[in-house]
Every structure is written in C-alpha cells, then in structure tokens.
Chain A
Amino acid sequence: MTDLSSSLSAVPSLQRKFETRALRSILLTTITWVSAMLASVPLFSVLYMLITRGGARLSMEVFTELPPAGFEMGGGFGNALVGTFVMVGIAALIAIPVGILAAIFLAELGPQSKLANSARFAAKTLTGLPSILAGVFAYAMVVLTTGSYSAPAGGIALAVLMLPIVVLTAEEAMKMVPKIMKDAAHGMGCTNSQVIWHVVLPTAMPAILTGVMLAVARAAGETAPLLFTALFSNYWIYDGGHINAMSPTASLAVLIYNFSGMPFDNQLELAWAASLVLVLIVLVVNIVSRLVGKTKI
C-alpha cells in the first residue's frame, strides 16, 4: 500500500479560497437574500403602520356602531364590516359554484373543445382586467336595470373578479389528479360523473379551496368595483326589521376610501382602524387557505 500523497507531484490544498467564482457565488446569494427581504417589506411595513396608527382605535364600539357624521366623535364601521361580508358572500355564492363547474368542463369533459379554449382564454384575460371595469360591467348590468346601487350589484361586480381565479386554479388542481387514479375509478365501473364526483373533486379539493380562498381575499379588499355598484351608506343593511337589499351598501374598502380624504381626525383614525381590520381579514383568509391546502388524507 503506497501512500497516495507521495504519488502525486503536489498535494492540492483543500482550504477554501476566495477566487472569482466563489465570490460570484456569495454575491448572488446575497442579492437573492436582499430581494427576498424586499419582497416581504411591503406587507410587514404596512402591518406595522396599521397596527401603530389603527390599533389604538380598535375597540368593541367600532364593530357595533355606525360611521360618524362630520364633527361627530366616536362611531365605528359596523355596517361597513357587515356590508363587506354580505357582498363577498354574494360574490362567493355566484363565483364558486359556477367557477368549479366550469373548471370541471375545462379539465375533464371537453378539455380540447372550442368552448373550453375560448373559456380558458376569456378567464385568463379576465384575471388581468382592471377591477374598475368589473364595476362598470355590474353598473350597466344591475344598477341601471334595477335603478339603484345595491349589495347584489356589488356582489356581482366582485363575482366577476373572483370567477377567473376560481376557474383557472380549479382547472389546474383537477389536472394535477394523477391519470392512474382516474383509470382506477373507470376500471371499477364508474361513470364519468362518478369519476369526477368521487375521485377527481375530492382529490383536488385542497388545491381548489386554496384558489377559492385567494379569490375571496382578493374580493374582500377591492374598492373600485364597489364605487360604481354598492356606493356607500351610513346605515345598517338590516334596519327596522327588514333588509334593505336594493339600496346603497357600505363596505370597508369604500369607507377607507371616503374617510381617508376627510379633514376630521376622528374619521382618519377610523379609516386606519378599518384598514387594519380589512388587512387582518385578508390575512386570516390567506392563512386558512394555506392550512386547507396542506390537509391531506
């Protein structure tokens, strides 16, 4: 057994050397690290700002009271919170079933058909649609025909924004279901609809729900489409024993927009507090969507 080192003319050093390629590697790592930090700065700085400026005003009464007028002190944005939930709820009731059913067609029933191709193209284009145009659409379709700004009009505008997100994510989720699983179901004598209902949908459900939650979060934060459709109101949607379905409805996003331009400290404080609440809602929905996406049997 000869000594290996003696057979080599010179033993190479294994110490770390700072040559060019090593430095380049370090530089690249640093740049990516800084970029990752920059990407998270906006959320955390916004959160910090909202908590410091809006946190102080958070109390039970902001959730239960109506917005104050001009020089009034106190008050809250209870009706706007309810309005946001109602309108996002209407939007979800429309966009989720329609979106998932459309995605079933795109992914399973007629993936190569002309209808599927045009629907897919429409959905992709719609995701890039400026949200204010969704408001214009609902204004023309609902506000003009019913003759008033209302929560359903706002809900429809938000549904237009949610629909493409739901369709595209649900289609992707269903396409990820392995073919061998569908084969298994067909091999057992499932009809097409049984394969979709019992195998494809349950398997894709966590990913579909993630898309749905993202769509809900997006809709909850939208302001522009509501300006044309739900407008704003200083009153409860549920008042004196009946629901004012077909009248202007408040929402958090529009309240923030309105109050942030006012010259009164009280309203400005409320706008900050409402912003905090809205961001927290979006945050919670996002966290829930991550948890749902993780659940696996």
Chain B
Amino acid sequence: MTAMMQQTSPATAASSIVMDCKLDKIFYGDFMAVRDSHVPIEKNKITGFIGPSGCGKSTVLRSLNRMNDLVVGFRFDGHVHFLGQDVYGKGVDPVVVRRYIGMVFQQPNPFSMSIFDNVAFGLRLNRYKGDVGDRVKHALQGAALWDEVKDKLKVSGLALSGGQQQRLCIARAIATEPEVLLMDEPCSALDPIATRRVEELMVELKKDYTIALVTHNMHQATRVADTTAFFSVDISQGTRTGYLVEMGPTDQIFNSPREKLTNDYISGNFS
C-alpha cells in the first residue's frame, strides 16, 4: 500500500495539485447534499472553504479522507485523486487514506489519556520504530504547544484549556506526518486569542503540510487562506443541495468575485 501511495503520475508531479477533488454528487440516503463541485487543492497552500450553513462544505471536507464512509447511507459520485490515485478507487482502504490525509475537528477531541499518549497515539498505532518521545516533542513544538505542556506531559489531555486542546489535536494529527490536514472549523469552539494562535499555527504548518480549511468566519479565510472556495445552497429542487459557486485566489474572491452570489455573501448580503 505504501509503495502504491508513493507512486505519482506524471500529471500531478508536474503541477502542484496534491488533491484533485471532483465531487459530482454526494448523497446521504436519498438526500443529495452536494453536487457539481470541483475543488483542486494545491500543495503547501491553505485552501479555505466558505459559505452559508448547510452548503455542504463540511460534507465536502469529510469526503476527502472518506470520513463520510462512517455515515450510514453515504454515496459518492466523482473522484478524489490524491497524488495520482483515486481515494475512492477499487481496493483502496479508507483506513490507509486517513493516515495520509489527517483531520482536525470542530470540537477539540483529545482522548481521555495523557498529553503524551494523545500525541503518541498515531505513532504507536503505526508501530513507529524510532524514538516516540522525540517525535512527540517535535509534534508538540510544531503545534506551538510544547512550552506550555513540557512539564506536564503525564497530565490528562482533557485538563487543558479549549485552545490548548485544539493545538493538542493538531499535534496529534501531525505526529504521523500526513500529507494533507483537513481542518473542519477548527476555531469555532475557541475564544479570539486561542483562535489567533491556531491561525498563526496554520500559516506556520503550511510550510510542511497542505491544508484544507472549512470556516464560518470570512475574516479567518482572508487572514489565512491562499485559495478560497465559495459554496452555496441550491434550494430550487425543494431540497438543500450544496455546490461550488466559485474558487480562486483569496484576494480575487474577496475583492473582485466573478459571481453575484459570492459578492452578496462576502458583503453580508445573504437571503
């Protein structure tokens, strides 16, 4: 499996697209949640997903590492090419996909174990042969949490503040060095100061990782995202189906959007 993952096709090697996600249709049972959205994700960039509630941006994000497979009734049409391989291809193990495409959730969700064990969790899972302590330290430094917790690594991860918990979850996600980090509104449960720290961290992390970020907060998108994808809801068929309206460099999306819908949304004019 590892060998297959490392094999890259010439097309993707030439461009900087790490994940080419063509989401034709996403269903939950009979309900079509997302349609016709093509979202390429560039290497070492932060791609922001914005849009009103129910526009399917979280669904899109969770489709990228097959987290939605856990939802009963989930169906997917299209493809998600990750380094030249379709994540939804035949014989692909979603468990392996998730090791290369990590995830940080809306609610900080540390395990009820010590700070050290939380970060070491993924390493032990993968039977990491090297020095676990080193990697844990490195990951905590990467998540800008090391200085705050270095003297209490044996304390429960749940004893930290909300912002620290979220950085712990980021440390846990990067400890196994995935290619891509999917972040689903990682700051929505945090206060402004903690939010700023996590935002600074994201900008720092993109040197080593590729990040896809769902956010409710348009200011956050302008602050950290290199590319922004704007999603909206189509209610014309009597149900609420999300779709991609437009995608482009963040500057362009916020300063000279091509679509009227985008312009309405970013100027706070949504009906």
Contact = CB atoms under 8 A, between A and B. Distances in A.
B240 interface: no
A194 B125 contact: yes
B242 interface: no
Interface in A49-84: none
Interface residues of A, number: 19
Interface string A124-137: 00000000000000
Interface stretch (A166-174, A182-190, A252-260): A182-190
Given A188-B122, A188-B125, A180 B95 contact: no
27 contacts: A180-B107, A180-B109, A181-B109, A181-B111, A183-B67, A183-B70, A183-B103, A183-B105, A184-B110, A184-B172, A185-B111, A186-B70, A186-B98, A187-B102, A188-B99, A188-B102, A188-B173, A188-B176, A189-B102, A189-B125, A194-B125, A198-B121, A199-B111, A202-B111, A202-B112, A203-B111, A203-B112
Contacts of A203: 111-112
Contacts of B112: 181, 202-203, 296-297
B67 A186 contact: yes
B247 interface: no
A9 interface: no
B113 interface: yes
Contact of A187 (B96, B105, B110, B113): B105
A180 B176 CA distance: 20
B156 interface: yes
A145 interface: no
A178 interface: yes
Contacts of B121: 185, 188, 198
B98 A296 contact: no
Interface in B100-156: 100, 102-105, 107, 109-114, 121-122, 125-126, 156
Contacts of B98: 186-190
A191 interface: yes
Interface in B43-67: 65, 67
A188 B65 CA distance: 10
Contacts of B122: 188-189
B187 interface: no
A190 B125 contact: yes
A186 B102 CA distance: 10
Contacts of A194: 125
A189 B95 contact: yes
Given A189-B96, A190-B125, A296-B156, A178 B173 contact: no
Contacts of B172: 184, 188
A184 B102 contact: no
Interface string B157-185: 01000000000010011001000000000
Nearest to B156: A297
A178 B96 CA distance: 23
Contacts of A198: 121, 125
Contacts of A297: 112-114, 156, 158
Contacts of A202: 111-113
Contacts of A191: 95
Contacts of B125: 188-190, 194, 198
Contacts of B105: 180, 183-184, 187
Nearest to A178: B109
A198 B67 CA distance: 18
Closest 3 CB pairs of A and B: A189-B99, A187-B103, A189-B98
Interface in B26-85: 65, 67, 70
Contacts of A185: 111, 121
Nearest to B100: A189
Interface string A180-220: 11011111111100100011001100000000000000000
